[in-house]
Structure 1
Amino acid sequence: MNRLISLQMDKLLPRGPPPSLTTLPPFLVLYSSSACHRVPHSHSLTTTRTTISSLIGHKISESIMKNYPQDTQDSIKQQQREGYCKEACEYNESKPVADDILPHILNLYASRATPKDFDIYAPHATFEDPLMCAHGVKQIKSSFYSLSKAFSESRIVEYSIKENAISPGKEEILIDNKQYYKFLGKDINMISLIKLYIEDGKIVRHEDWWDKKPLWNRDTVKLPVAGRIVEMTRRASMWATHAIMRFGKDPTV
């Protein structure tokens, strides 16, 4: 029985010295940090190079690399470098959503908004602060176009940004900021937390929390009736502003 097992083992695992470079086995096993690849070996150097091209991005150990001729090693290293460069370029292309949105937000708060700045909003977007509650892009336009009517100066002077991914295509952008206004010759400095909710690259909800305090509504106050009254007051203020600003009509240049 032992001899029979030994004979079977001899068939499966041939004994003798390790194969030389010219007698490599049909499949060469390459180990990387993330996977194990079985690469068909061929005596044709061209075929070997073609096969190795599939290993771009994987780290090959020095001991395995030595099994190849020098020109093949150079080819592997060159293709790996090209693969790493491509991955780095692709990574850099995916820039944060805030990079596109922030310049327009700064324009809105600086009383220099143009119609183009409102393209960051979805058609059904909302904007809320302690004074107003705007529904739709036209009302949002009225809210920000009115800043220049109420204040001689306005702008965001300091800010920091944090992005949170909620789900595929949905993000939350938090802008911790300090705002400056000049009203009747008096300087007003206010800290604020701007919360932007993004869907498919567009703002669907814009909240401005003055002093970083949550907005009052039926969901955030203890008495739902009081919250409802606050909501109605903010909506009435919005409609009055909307009428004064000609219902979101863009100013003529």
Structure 2
Amino acid sequence: MPPPALCASSAARLRLLLHQPSTATTTPSALFLRAAAASAALAPARQRLLFSTTGMAAAAGAKASTQPAAGGGVSELIMPHLLNIYGSCATARDFEMYAPNATFEDPLMRAHGVKQIKSAFYTMPTVFGESKIVEYTIKENTTGPGKSQILIDNKQHYKVFGKDVDLESLITPDVEDGKVVRHQDWWDKKPLKNRETVSFPLLGRLAQTSRRGAMLLTHVLMGFGKDPTP
């Protein structure tokens, strides 16, 4: 654990980021971006929250509505694991739903492989005092033999230094042979910025590169996806 002075300094920087006088701070996405910017300094001090019983209770209490595909039902198998992951109470077993070369991407990071996906989610308790999916609606579409895409329209709740932040998002896991091969999280239900979704392809490429850089830094700081000790 870092010295108390270092923890206090890190906390002060995060408070400053959250309270900068800017109109952008009124949006949930802006709070997420500012909080994540300081997560590296807080990671060692708060990793113990990964197995928070509060997160487990929150995951169990989420309101759900499901529309499975004909002959599907894959969402019923992976949803409990997603609730644990987003509820900051994931264990190594929850990540077994991913294929070895699966990818995860949100506006902050792009992870390649299960180890990096673990790092991306294990860092959440270093930023948020509370995290959970509180409501969700599932629609499951068959896209081919043994393949399906799950659309999870959801509302997430976070607490950052006493601030309640509610975020609507669209989580879109692509599943092949029972394993998640791609997992995207669209904050505010807006497509991720890349070469195909922005007017200027160069800006999209820069956004993708930035997400990869943030992921690689987080991966190092989180011990290369090492599972924490309960």
Same fold, TM-score > 0.5, yes or no: yes
Matched, 1:98 2:75: yes
Matched, 1:139 2:116: yes
Inter-partner Cα distance in structure 1 for 2:209 and 2:72:
40
CA root-mean-square deviation? 0.8
Deviations 1:1-50 (A, max 9, x none): xxxxxxxxxxxxxxxxxxxxxxxxxxxxxxxxxxxxxxxxxxxxxxxxxx
Partner of 1:223: 200
What TM-score, normalized by structure 1, do the two folds share? Answer: 0.62
- Report what 1:208 is aligned to: 185
Change (3 A) 1:226 1:95: closer
**AA at the equivalent of 1:231:** Q
Amino acid at match of 2:229: T
Partner SS state of residue 237, structure 1: helix
Q: 2:214 is matched with which residue?
A: 237
Return the offset for 1:95.
6.0
Distance (whole Å) between structure 2 residues aligned to residue 244 and residue 152 of structure 1: 19
Aligned length: 160
CA contact (8 A) 2:72 2:142 kept: no
Amino acid at match of 2:80: P
User: Cα deviation per residue 1:114-162 (whole Å; 9 max; x = unaligned)?
Assistant: 0000000000000000000000000000011001111110000000100
User: How many Å separate the matches in 1 of 2:161 and 2:217?
Assistant: 21
Q: CA deviation at 1:187?
A: 0.5
Q: Does 1:120 align with 2:97?
A: yes
How far 1:218 sits from its partner (Å)?
Answer: 1.1
Displacement of 1:252 in angstroms is 1.0
**Whole-Å Cα distance in 2 between the matches of residues 233 and 96 of structure 1?**
35
Identify which of 159, 183, 187 aligns with 2:164. Answer: 187
CA-to-aligned-CA distance 1:205-239 (integer Å, 9 cap, x gap):
00000000000011111111101100111111111
Task: Specify the alignment match of 2:224 in structure 1.
Answer: 247
Conserved? CA contact 2:102–2:112, under 8 Å: yes
| Separation in structure 2 between the aligned mates of residue 98 and residue 231 of structure 1, nearest angstrom | 28
Query: Matched residues in 2 for 1:95 and 1:213: separation?
Result: 26
Q: Give CA deviations for 1:66-93 in whole Å, capped at 9, x if unaligned.
A: xxxxxxxxxxxxxxxxxxxxxxxxxxxx
Identity of aligned residues (%): 61
Counterparts of 2:155 and 2:109 in 1: how far apart (Å)? 19
- Secondary structure of the equivalent of 1:144? helix
Q: Distance in 2 between matches of 1:137 and 1:126?
A: 8
Unaligned runs of 5+ in 1: 1-93
Give me the whole-angstrom Cα distance separating, in 1, the residues matched to 2:197 and 2:160: 30
Whole-angstrom distance in 2 between the partners of 1:169 and 1:157: 30
Displaced runs of 4 or more, over 4 A: none
Distance (Å, rounded) in 1 between the aligned partners of 2:177 and 2:88: 27
Partner Cα separation in structure 1 for residue 223 and residue 128 of structure 2:
19
Higher relative contact order (CA 8 A, sep 6+): 2
2-structure distance, mates of 1:112, 1:185? 20
Residue matched to 1:59: none
Secondary structure of the structure 1 residue equivalent to 2:148: strand
Distance 1:95 1:116 in 2: 22
- 1:162-200 Cα offsets, whole Å, 9 max, x none, are 000001100000000000010111000000000010000
Normalising by the residue count of structure 2, what TM-score does the alignment of the two structures yield? 0.69
Which runs of 5 or more structure 2 residues have no equivalent in the other structure? Answer: 1-70
Residue 152 in structure 1 maps to residue 125 in structure 2: no
